Structure formats: structure tokens, C-alpha cells
């Protein structure tokens, strides 16, 4: 037989139908061989040439069966410009990013099935260090009692991916960017005044190594070449070329250290780095490891740049940005058109490149975990919304979009192994418009402060940043709000308060528990007191009770730490970290500091509710309102609409104690996705925390409102 005939015969034998006897297939092959006599040479040739069509007709060979037939002898190899090899066979990576920590675990399988139904063969995921080690030395891979613990069983996620016939690309960090708070770095790192994150600084390497040790304890035997697992590639750090200014040298020894540490911990699969080659060249590369490209459009210049950097290596787009993320106040929902998406994907495939859709499904940045960007121009900082829909092929709720069908069609068109099993597309989830409900009880800001454990209430002469508070076993405060309180002796009449330095990030000023600063309705206000953009802002107010003591409160929201950019962007302490507060030009000393972390356990345990929907109209203060949603049948997905809550209002929503995310009247996002698993039959408690106006009516919808799809 010719080489071509032998190759296709080997495919026919190895790519057997699941459950079909190899013995039967071998007997079929024996028959073919016996037919190879001089008299039947033409018939044999015809039969062998038909074998690929027979394999096509089977149409039920799994990716796993195809690439593991005959045993595992090698992993993923960046073999040549022609492409990758997996276990010695040509492998075209078709991957999609699915973040286990942004999707309720009971919905993981649905999302993986939908990825597999495109014809994809791989799933990619980041790992967020700040969730997996919320306090130094306390690791949580679903064993903990933290708000997100249930989401963190990465071992189960990787195993489930294999069950769904997907290989896995793992991106363990320690930095991940991902529009995630601090790029996945834990905030307790900032307690070290000498800390230099993402560097060879010994204090950083010590804790990063310890974290990676815990990661590999859980995934080392899930590698393709060790433990017969699905992990075929591991990223070193993330977009490290962007962690610097211009072409100044990066800390390559840090990257080498991470790579070598993972090898020491048992990593056996292909390493790679990812950056945008036209911008950062090989500044973030690890010598000897594959460089990949990140982009949304204009694919050809990126491939041309890779040709210069590594002319003998295959192309891989580690992040084909399928859409984009949104900032509060942006005014519209970011993304890309299906036409642009399709054109770029076709160029990727035409250039013989492998691809990872970033994102395939974005999911939700639940709780306070959204990220932010520090900017070089006004307003210098832009926090992300909680929805991470990303305008991806699957919506935040896992629904199909036009991009999904476009991707599926193009994957089929460029498919190189036509006899792979193609599963059916799972049904979309049911969405319900539940009846609107009314608040029945409330707690004011002061009511909440009274319920903080005494060990969390800190007395300090000076202001302290969140991260520097002596709480949480010496780890400080990571998320939420922080209230600075002082009792000041004021004369009746006009006064001025000033925050020296910047506010991190949004401050509300109260006098005797009455809010005096306005709500946030437009970008012009970012120049004013209480906002992050400018330093040393002042606010004029009247003390109208005459000469007496007044309670001065500054309630500061940590809207998110930066997750991208050069080292200078990673000085990320929150609250009032830069300077004192002045009253009438005199420094205020003697503060009581209240960390409002709004943990699920604390929220569920709140008591002493006031039996009215909201405070009297004469009381103007941040408020938590309580409503009850009663569901008679099995719950379904739904959305809470925040339209009607006030154009300048802002806060967070809790469903049965779980923080589903932030809302803001400034938009663009006007809904919060509520996955069905967060609800239950019977009564469901909905709490809405509002910085400005109490929310007393909660309405539901079956459609997301992420804002206008194009820029005004």
C-alpha cells in the first residue's frame, strides 16, 4: 500500500466507533490486506480510497479517541510552521475561553456542551489567585467557607471538560488580567510596603511559588502526558509584554522562574506566552517557549510579526477577542460586529492558525470581583461592570448568538478531520419574568454598622487603607466599602471638608448620618469631591445645628483594582490611602473605621430589620432594602432590571445572600443576570444596597439590557 493508503487505513482502524470492537476493525483490515493480490489490485485500491468516506459516514469518533488511539506517547508540540502535533498527529486547536469562576458550577456542563457543539476540541480557563488564596496561606479550591467557594473546584471543571470531549489549556497566573479585580492578584500582597508584584522580588516569588504549588497539587495528574488527563498546554504568566513602558526590558528571569517552578511541580505539557506581537514583540516571551498572539481584528499584521519572532513555529491566537468588556459610564455596550468577527476568524483559519475564542462565554463577575483600568488620560480610571457578557458567541446566560453560528459554520468549513463526532446543540435555558415585588423592610447605614462584629471596628489616629486594616488574620480588607467616622466639634454655619490625595474610588459624605454629596449622574461630576479623578477635592457644607458635635462620615466604595498595564498601575490600595482629611484646613485625627465587606455569611445573618420599605423621606442615607420573591415551581433563569432605580443610584444586589453584582444608574448595563441555581422553590430573599436612593420595587425581565450596542 502507498503511504496515503496506509495513513487513511490507520485512521479507519484507530478512529473506531465508541464501543466498537478493535478486533472487528482489525479483521476488516485483514480482509483488505488479503484482497491485495495481483488480480484484485484495482479493487483493493478502490476500497482503500473509500475508507475515508466510510470514516466520514461513521461521524462519531471523539476527539479523545482520535488523539489517544494506540496510547499516549507525546503531548502537544509546536512542531513547525505547518502546525501542531498532539500525540504525533496533526492538531488544529479550536478552543474557547470558559471561566469556571464566572459560571455557576451547575451550569458548567451546559456551557462546555455548547462549546463542543461548535466543533471545538479545547476549552481554556484562567485561574484567579485572589479567590483561591483569599488570605495568605488559606487556600480554597471549593473546600472553604468563602462567598465563591462553591465555584472553585477547578479539578472538577477540568475533569468535566474531558468528559465532554474537550482538551484543556490552563492559564494559572499568578497574574491573569481578565477584567478581574487586581488581575487575580490577592489584595493582601499590598500590605508589604516593598511589594513589587509580577517580578523577581523575593517577597512576591515566595507567595507565588506557594500558590502554584497548591494549584499543581490539584491538576498535575490531569495532564495529557501524566494521568491521562485533558490538559495539553500551560501559559506562563499573562500578557507580560504589556507590564512595562515602551521597549524597556521586562523581568524575563521572573518568567523563567515561573516556568521552571511549574516544571519542578510536575508540569509536562507545552508552555506558551501570550501578547500582542505588533505592540510588544517578544518582551513578554520565555526563551524557547511558544509565543502566541492576542487581538480582535487585523490578524495578518500579528501573524507577520510572529513570523519575524519565531519563523519556524505554528501560529496560535491565544486570545481572539470575540467582543469587548464595558466600563461604568461608557454609554454603550462594547463588542464587535458579527461581520468583523467572521472576517477575522476566516483570516485566522486561512493563515493556518489555531485559535482560542476569548471569550466563548464571558459569564458574570459576581460579587465585587470586577476589574478596572487605570488610564493615562482623564478620568484616569475606569471600573468594569459586573456583566462579563463580552458580546461573545454565547451570551452571559449561555444563549446562542449570531457569532456562535458564524463560528460553528467556519469551524466546519475549515475542519481537517471530517469523521469527528458532532454533538447536537443543547437547548437554551428558560427565562421567566417573575412578578414585580415590593420591599417590606430596611436597614440604614447606621443599622448595619451596629451589626458589625466588634473586632472589625478599628480605632486609629490616622486614616488606614482597606488593605492595611488589622483584620482578617492580618490580611486586611479586600472588597466592599469602608467607612471613616470622626466626631467633630463645629460651629454653626459654613465649613469645608477636603480629601488630600485621591479617593479610591467613590466617597459619600454624611453629616450626622445624612448624606450631603449628590448621586452620580454624569461624567462632569468626576471633577468633583468624592470622585477618583482629581486629587485634593473639597466640598462646602453647612452645620445647621449650631455650635455642637457632629458625626462626620466618609463612606468609600472600592469599585475595583486595576487589572492591566505597567508596574506603576499596580499601586492599588483602596479607601483613602493617600493623605489626611482636612476640616476647615485642619487635619482630622481620631477615626473609627468600619469595614463593610458584605460577606454572604454576614448578610444572611442580619437582624433587627425596620418594618417599612425605606427610611422616612427626611432620612437621606445609604440603605439596604429587603424583598421576598416567592416561586411556586422549579426556578428558572431571570434578570433583575435596574431601570427605575434612579439615574444616579448605585449599589449591589444580593439573592439569598449571594452577591450577584453591582448596579449603577449611569449605565450602560441595566440588568443583573440571576442564574436559576441561585433561586429555590418557595421564598427567596432579595436585598438591594443603595448608596443614594432606597430601592423599594424590584422588577424582573427575560431579556438582558446591556446598553446600546453602538457608541452614541
Cβ burial 524-556 (10 Å sphere, 16+ → b, else e): ebbeebbbbbeeebebebebeeeeeebebbbbb
pLDDT for 7 = 35
pLDDT for 60 = 86
442-455: average pLDDT: 98
Whether residue 32 is predicted with pLDDT greater than 80 in this model: the reply is no
Whether residue 373 is predicted with pLDDT greater than 60 in this model: the reply is yes
Phi, psi of 508 (to 5 degrees): -110, 130
**Residue range 279-307, pLDDT digits in tens:** 999 999 999 999 999 999 999 999 999 99
pLDDT for 19 = 36
Partners of 234 in the β-ladder: 170, 271
331-335: average pLDDT: 93
From CA 260, how far away is CA 313, in angstroms rounded?
22
- 46-50, 125-129, 618-622: which has the minimum mean pLDDT? 46-50
From CA 499, how far away is CA 153, in angstroms rounded?
43
**Residue range 38-60, pLDDT digits in tens:** 344 444 444 444 444 444 444 58
Percent of the chain beyond pLDDT 70?
91
Give the residue carrying C-alpha cell 485512521.
11
pLDDT for 225 = 97
Partners of 623 in the β-ladder: 444, 690
Confidence grade of residue 711 (pLDDT, cut at 50, 70, 90): low
Q: Tell me how far CA of residue 471 lies from CA of 135, 184, 467, 475, 597, in angstroms.
A: 11, 21, 9, 6, 11
534-550: average pLDDT: 97
Confidence grade of residue 579 (pLDDT, cut at 50, 70, 90): very high
User: Looking at the annotation, which residues are catalytic?
Assistant: 239, 319
429-449: average pLDDT: 98
Confidence grade of residue 353 (pLDDT, cut at 50, 70, 90): very high
**Residue range 131-170, pLDDT digits in tens:** 999 999 999 999 999 999 999 999 999 999 999 999 999 9
Beta-carbon contacts of residue 562 (< 8 Å; ≥ 6 apart) = 182, 183, 371, 372, 373, 374, 381, 569, 570, 572
From CA 680, how far away is CA 287, in angstroms rounded?
52
Beta-carbon contacts of residue 154 (< 8 Å; ≥ 6 apart) = 100, 125, 127, 141, 215, 218, 219
pLDDT for 11 = 39
Identify the CA nearest to 547 among candidates 585, 504, 492: 492
Whether residue 12 is predicted with pLDDT greater than 50 in this model: the reply is no
Whether residue 234 is predicted with pLDDT greater than 60 in this model: the reply is yes
pLDDT for 44 = 42
Q: What is the mean pLDDT of the chain?
A: 93
For the packed helices 22-34 and 41-58, what is the interaxial angle rounded to 10 degrees? 160
Confidence grade of residue 627 (pLDDT, cut at 50, 70, 90): very high
Q: Tell me how far CA of residue 659 lies from CA of 87, 504, 689, in angstroms.
A: 44, 21, 10
pLDDT for 710 = 74
Identify the CA nearest to 500 among candidates 570, 554, 550: 554
Phi, psi of 256 (to 5 degrees): -60, -40
Phi, psi of 468 (to 5 degrees): -95, 0
pTM across the whole model: 0.92
Cell of 208: 507565588
Confidence grade of residue 712 (pLDDT, cut at 50, 70, 90): low
**Residue range 342-352, pLDDT digits in tens:** 999 999 999 99
Phi, psi of 649 (to 5 degrees): -75, 160
Amino acid at each position: 500500500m502507498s503511504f496515503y493508503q496506509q495513513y487513511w487505513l490507520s485512521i479507519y482502524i484507530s478512529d473506531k466507533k465508541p464501543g466498537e470492537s478493535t478486533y472487528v476493525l482489525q479483521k476488516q483490515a485483514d480482509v483488505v490486506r488479503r484482497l491485495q493480490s495481483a488480480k484484485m489490485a484495482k479493487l483493493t485500491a478502490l476500497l482503500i480510497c473509500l475508507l475515508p468516506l466510510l470514516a466520514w459516514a461513521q461521524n462519531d469518533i471523539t476527539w479523545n479517541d482520535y488523539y489517544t488511539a494506540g496510547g499516549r506517547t507525546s503531548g502537544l508540540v509546536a512542531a513547525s510552521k505547518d502546525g501542531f502535533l498532539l500525540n504525533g498527529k496533526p492538531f488544529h486547536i479550536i478552543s474557547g475561553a470558559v471561566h469556571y469562576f464566572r459560571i455557576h458550577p451547575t451550569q458548567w456542563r451546559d456551557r462546555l456542551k455548547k462549546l463542543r457543539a461548535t466543533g471545538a476540541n479545547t476549552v481554556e480557563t484562567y485561574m484567579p489567585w485572589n479567590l483561591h488564596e483569599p488570605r495568605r496561606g488559606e487556600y480554597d479550591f471549593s473546600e472553604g467557607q468563602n462567598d465563591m467557594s462553591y465555584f472553585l473546584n477547578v479539578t472538577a471543571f477540568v475533569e468535566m471538560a474531558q468528559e465532554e470531549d474537550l482538551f484543556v489549556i490552563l492559564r494559572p497566573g499568578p497574574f491573569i488580567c481578565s477584567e478581574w479585580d487586581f488581575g487575580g492578584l490577592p489584595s493582601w500582597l499590598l500590605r508589604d510596603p516593598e511589594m513589587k508584584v509580577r517580578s523577581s522580588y523575593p517577597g512576591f516569588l515566595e507567595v507565588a511559588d506557594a500558590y502554584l504549588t497548591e494549584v499543581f497539587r490539584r491538576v498535575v495528574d490531569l495532564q495529557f502526558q501524566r494521568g491521562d488527563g485533558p490538559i495539553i498546554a500551560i501559559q506562563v504568566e499573562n500578557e507580560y509584554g504589556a507590564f512595562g513602558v515602551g521597549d524597556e526590558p521586562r523581568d524575563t528571569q521572573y518568567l523563567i522562574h515561573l516556568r521552571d517552578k511549574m516544571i519542578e511541580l510536575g508540569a509536562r505539557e507545552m508552555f506558551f506566552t501570550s501578547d500582542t506581537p505588533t505592540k510588544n514583540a517578544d518582551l513578554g516571551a520565555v526563551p524557547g517557549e511558544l509565543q502566541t498572539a492576542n487581538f480582535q481584528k487585523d490578524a495578518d499584521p500579528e501573524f507577520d510579526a510572529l513570523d519575524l519572532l519565531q519563523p519556524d513555529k505554528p501560529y496560535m491566537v491565544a486570545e481572539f477577542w470575540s467582543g469587548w468588556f464595558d466600563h461604568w459610564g461608557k454609554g454603550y455596550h462594547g463588542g464587535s460586529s458579527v461581520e468583523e468577527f467572521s472576517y477575522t476568524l476566516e483570516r485566522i483559519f486561512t493563515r493556518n492558525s489555531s485559535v482560542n475564542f476569548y471569550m466563548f462565554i464571558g459569564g458574570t463577575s459576581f460579587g465585587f470581583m470586577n476589574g478596572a483600568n487605570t488610564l493615562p488620560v482623564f478620568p484616569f480610571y475606569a471600573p468594569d461592570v459586573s456583566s462579563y457578557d463580552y458580546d461573545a458567541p454565547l451570551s452571559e446566560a449561555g444563549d446562542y448568538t449570531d457569532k456562535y453560528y458564524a463560528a460553528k459554520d467556519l469551524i466546519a468549513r475549515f475542519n481537517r478531520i471530517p469523521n469527528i463526532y458532532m454533538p447536537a446543540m443543547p437547548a437554551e435555558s428558560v427565562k421567566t419574568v417573575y412578578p414585580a415585588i415590593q420591599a417590606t423592610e430596611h436597614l440604614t447605614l447606621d443599622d448595619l454598622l451596629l451589626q458589625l462584629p466588634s473586632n472589625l471596628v478599628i480605632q486609629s489616629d490616622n486614616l488606614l487603607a482597606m488593605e492595611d486594616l488589622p483584620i482578617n488574620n492580618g490580611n486586611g480588607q479586600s472588597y466592599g466599602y469602608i467607612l471613616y467616622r470622626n466626631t467633630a466639634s463645629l460651629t454653626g454655619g459654613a465649613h469645608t471638608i477636603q480629601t488630600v490625595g485621591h479617593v479610591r474610588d467613590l466617597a459619600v459624605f454624611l453629616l450626622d448620618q445624612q448624606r450631603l454629596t449628590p448621586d452620580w449622574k454624569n461624567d462632569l461630576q468626576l471633577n468633583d469631591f468624592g470622585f477618583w479623578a482629581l486629587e485634593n477635592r473639597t466640598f462646602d457644607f453647612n452645620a445647621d445645628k449650631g455650635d455642637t458635635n457632629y458625626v462626620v462620615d466618609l463612606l468609600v466604595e472600592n469599585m475595583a483594582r486595576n487589572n492591566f498595564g505597567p508596574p506603576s498601575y499596580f499601586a492599588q490600595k483602596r479607601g483613602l490611602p493617600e493623605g489626611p482629611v482636612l476640616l476647615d484646613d485642619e487635619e482630622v485625627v481620631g477615626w473609627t473605621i468600619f469595614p463593610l465587606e458584605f460577606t454572604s455569611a454576614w448578610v444572611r445573618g442580619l437582624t433587627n430589620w425596620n418594618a417599612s420599605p425605606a427610611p422616612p423621606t427626611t432620612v437621606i442615607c445609604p440603605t439596604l432594602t429587603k424583598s421576598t420573591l416567592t416561586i411556586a415551581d422549579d426556578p428558572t433563569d431571570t434578570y433583575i432590571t435596574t431601570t427605575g432605580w434612579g439615574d444616579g443610584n448605585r449599589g449591589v444586589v444580593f439573592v439569598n445572600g449571594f452577591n450577584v453584582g453591582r448596579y449603577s444608574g449611569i449605565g450602560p448595563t441595566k440588568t443583573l443576570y440571576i442564574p436559576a441555581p441561585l433561586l429555590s422553590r418557595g421564598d427567596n430573599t432579595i436585598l438591594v444596597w443603595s448608596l443614594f436612593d432606597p430601592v423599594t420595587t424590584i422588577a424582573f425581565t427575560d431579556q438582558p439590557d446591556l446598553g446600546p450596542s453602538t457608541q452614541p
